Amino acid sequence: MSPTETDPTVWLHHGRSFLAAVMLAALWTGESVTPIFPGRQRRLSHIATNLALAAINAVIASGFAFAILAVTEWARTRPFGLLNLTPLPVGLHWLGAILLLDCWQYGWHRLNHRVPLLWRFHAVHHSDAEMDASSGVRFHTGEMVLSFLARLAVLPLIGLTLTQLLVYEFVSLPVILFHHSNLRISSRVDRWLRWVIVTPWMHSVHHSRWQPETDSNYTSFLSVWDRLFGSFRLRDKPAEISLGLDNYKESEWRQLPGMLAAPFTKSPSHDFATQKPLQ
């Protein structure tokens, strides 16, 4: 067989794309039947715009693939990175890889809310007032570039292999799409799930217009980090949350050209509602 038929990274890459398509279709259907926020009028144009932005980012990601492969291979063949300082059983190495990468994702997300330059780009994600599963892939291209540049430094410091990175992305992607979705599940199921992973109830708080809520629940995959670092927050009635940013109400920011231009035309400050919402 050719290397492309046996290399697990190839299967993980293509499998991730297939999984994303299946999850989006399933969540789209579920959101139609049992939405958290009912009455959405422009679902088709909304998902089309978000997926168009995701397609641009996929091209950018392919351009960074060689660099990520190079730095992870460099770390793997040398005693460099936290996971490579001492020999570890395979299971512990994998567990450490997943936990450290997920912790980094938490920290990077939190930085995106604190550093004005990073917030300029990240605000495009938060400007989505009609959040659904497709919002999980709605990130400005500039944010993706900055994220990849940061990863080029962080991945060798952790000591991750490319396979571990792809496995993490494969298992975390469904959770990211799920917790961005407008899918209403029972409070009991949500309560049990969020002891392990991020849920729609938990993440809808993060997309609130009210800044204290938006500056909470940063984790992407495992909910433990918000609990550990004191940024966990819930609202009794998530359906009453007002999503989006006050400074992004104009229809032009709902279109792809407007989203791409927003970081260069909008204020870098937090454009949040200042009044506490009704409970």
Torsion sign over Cα 70, 17, 203, 227:
negative
Q: How many CB atoms lie within 10 A of CB 136?
A: 26
Q: Encoding tokens for residue 150? A: 């940061």
What is the pLDDT of the chain when averaged over all its residues?
Answer: 89
Q: What is the pLDDT of residue 8?
A: 67
57 phi and psi angles, rounded to 5 deg: -65, -30
**Per-residue pLDDT reduced to its tens digit, 156-211:** 999 998 899 999 999 999 999 999 999 999 999 999 999 999 999 999 999 999 99
The percent of residues in the chain predicted with pLDDT above 70, rounded, is: 91
DSSP notation for 199-259: -HHHHHHHTBSBHHHHTS---SSBTHHHHHTT-----S-GGGPPBS-GGG-SGGGGSHHHH
Q: Where are the domains of the chain?
A: 41-265
Average pLDDT over residues 105-114: 97
**Per-residue pLDDT reduced to its tens digit, 51-62:** 999 999 999 988
Residue pair 263/123 in contact by the 8 Å Cβ criterion? yes
pLDDT exceeds 90 at position 86? no
Average pLDDT over residues 24-45: 92
Residues 137, 142, 144, CA angle at the centre, nearest 5°? 45
Q: Which of 167, 159, 164, 183 is nearest to 239 (CA)?
A: 183
Of 7-11, 221-225, 258-262, minimum mean pLDDT range: 7-11
